[in-house]
């Protein structure tokens, strides 16, 4: 949900790693015949530069290099900036190069549709992770409509976190809204559903609204500007970049307030820190799991091997939900025994913790997320039945006509 300090250029980084998938994906432009009987998958990033995007791409590459995929497919990674035309050109080049599947974080929910449709007509399979597109031939793998397990009637990150903040403030107060990247389906969904909650509370006033670009540094700068302009603030609704929001308050020597956020490891540590609590910090850590990218690769492999009907076109990923009371420090390198946060110094401050999902991505590891290398000794495990996104929420990812 998350993600990125972007580079607005088209950078091509051929990785040319032997990884995999075999089976009955339609051959197109020679994609199914590269001389070794391997399929060709592209990892197509729109952004890069912050830990969420880096971790997601690393997990996708690590899964593709995990046996038996390492003997079944060739994978390459390419990065485009925030410009829709750049990503269109990226997709066109991949199609021309013989892609069997493209696993991608899309810039726009609609601007890529024509190119995606053209690729589908040539047999290319498109799997979008986290952000979504409305073109029906593509698969969407996302958490943006997912609700918490105990609150299924509040099915969105934006609504869930906004309601938490409204409850924490007793339905009144002045707040900031730290958004992600303008025009992206994830940010728009988060904002719209959060705003719908805040609109129910006439005594909640949004005094500052800004784009933190899903980046801690940018969020810190933008929050600092908002603090300078607003002597009073009672809470902050934030997408990814929440650790930067917190740093802005600390740097300005302002009393801490309730803050929502996504899954930055340092933010979870702060939530559980008694000293921070004494200064007024409360919060919830929720939001987008980078593991979606690795999971999308596994789903793409399944479709190439078993056909289009083997995976629903709209796959939902569970929404994490961690409050101060839920924070549990891990002793090892994985989420085990209920832990969900790493000790200080184990990972970078803004490391996005949700790289593990035992049933969906058991092949993951810290090394995979940080370096893009397969987990030693791991092999690809069978997938459980993918969780299909409820039909009544498809308007979020597929447009008004669902």
Q: Mind listing the pLDDT tens digit for each residue in 78-130?
A: 888 778 999 999 999 999 999 999 999 998 999 999 999 999 999 999 999 99
**For residues 153 and 326, which has the higher predicted lDDT (pLDDT)?**
326
DSSP letter at 258 equals: -
Q: How much is the pLDDT for 9?
A: 35
pLDDT > 70? residue 321: yes
For residue 130, the tally of other CB atoms under 10 A from its CB is 28
Least confident span in 12-16, 44-48, 50-54: 12-16
Q: How deeply is 207 buried, as exposed, middle or buried, from its count of CB atoms within 10 A (0-12, 13-18, 19+)?
A: middle
* 339-366 average pLDDT score: 94
pLDDT > 60? residue 1: no
20 pLDDT band, cuts 50/70/90, is: very low
Q: Tell me how far apart the alpha carbons of residues 75 and 68 are, in angstroms, rounded to a whole number.
A: 14
Spatial CA neighbour of 271 closest among 262, 214, 330? 262
**Half-sphere exposure at residue 193, Cβ-oriented, CA atoms within 13 angstroms:** 25
pLDDT > 50? residue 143: yes
Least confident span in 1-5, 171-175, 229-233, 256-260: 1-5
Mean pLDDT score of the chain, rounded to an integer? 89
* 233-246 average pLDDT score: 97
pLDDT > 60? residue 203: yes
pLDDT > 80? residue 287: yes
Q: Tell me how far apart the alpha carbons of residues 88 and 78 are, in angstroms, rounded to a whole number.
A: 12
Q: How much is the pLDDT for 149?
A: 63
Radius of gyration of the CA atoms of the chain, in A: 21
**For residues 14 and 351, which has the higher predicted lDDT (pLDDT)?**
351
**For residues 266 and 49, which has the higher predicted lDDT (pLDDT)?**
266
Q: How much is the pLDDT for 352?
A: 95
∠ CA 130-124-101 to the nearest 5 degrees? 50
Whole-structure pTM value: 0.89
Q: How much is the pLDDT for 154?
A: 67
| Residues found in the chain | 402
Paired strand residues for 322? 285
Q: How much is the pLDDT for 152?
A: 62
- Structural contact between residues 176 and 305, judged by C-beta atoms closer than 8 angstroms: no
Least confident span in 39-48, 92-101, 198-207, 350-359: 39-48
DSSP, collapsed to helix, strand or coil, labels residue 102 as: strand
Q: What confidence tens digit (pLDDT) does each residue in 309-318 have? A: 999 999 999 8
pLDDT > 70? residue 205: yes
22 pLDDT band, cuts 50/70/90, is: very low
């Amino acid at each position: 949900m998350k993600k990125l300090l972007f580079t607005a250029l088209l950078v091509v980084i051929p990785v040319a790693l032997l990884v995999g998938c075999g089976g009955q994906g339609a051959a197109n432009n020679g994609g199914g015949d590269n001389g070794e009987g391997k399929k060709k998958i592209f990892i197509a990033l729109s952004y890069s530069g912050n830990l969420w995007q880096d971790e997601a791409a690393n997990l996708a590459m690590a899964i593709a290099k995990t046996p038996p995929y390492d003997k079944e497919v060739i994978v390459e990674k390419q990065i485009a900036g925030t410009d829709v035309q750049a990503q269109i050109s990226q997709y066109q080049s991949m199609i021309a190069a013989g892609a069997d599947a493209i696993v991608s974080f899309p810039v726009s929910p609609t601007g890529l549709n024509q190119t995606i449709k053209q690729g589908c007509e040539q047999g290319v399979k498109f799997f979008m992770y986290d952000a979504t597109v409305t073109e029906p031939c593509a698969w969407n793998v996302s958490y943006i409509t997912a609700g918490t397990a105990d609150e299924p009637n509040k099915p969105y990150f934006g609504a869930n976190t906004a309601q938490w903040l409204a409850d924490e403030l007793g339905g009144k107060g002045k707040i900031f809204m730290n958004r992600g990247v303008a025009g992206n389906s994830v940010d728009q969904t988060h904002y719209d559903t959060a705003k719908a909650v805040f609109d129910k509370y006439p005594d909640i006033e949004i005094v500052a609204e800004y784009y933190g670009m899903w980046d801690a540094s940018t969020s810190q700068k933008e929050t600092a500007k908002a603090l300078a302009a607003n002597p009073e603030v009672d809470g902050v609704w934030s997408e990814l970049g929440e650790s930067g929001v917190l740093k802005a308050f600390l740097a300005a020597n302002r009393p801490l307030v309730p803050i929502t956020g996504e899954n930055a490891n340092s933010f979870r540590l702060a939530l559980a820190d008694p000293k921070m609590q004494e200064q007024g910090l409360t919060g919830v850590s929720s939001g987008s799991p980078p593991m979606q990218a690795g999971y999308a690769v596994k789903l793409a492999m399944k479709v190439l091997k078993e056909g289009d009907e083997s995976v629903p076109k709209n796959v939902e990923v569970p929404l994490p939900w961690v409050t101060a009371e839920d924070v549990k420090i891990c002793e090892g390198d994985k989420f085990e025994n209920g832990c969900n946060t790493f000790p200080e110094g184990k990972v970078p401050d803004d490391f996005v913790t949700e790289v593990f999902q035992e049933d969906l991505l058991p092949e993951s590891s810290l090394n995979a997320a940080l370096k893009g290398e397969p987990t030693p000794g791991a092999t690809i495990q069978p997938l459980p039945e993918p969780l299909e996104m409820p039909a009544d929420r498809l308007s979020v990812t597929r447009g008004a006509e669902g």
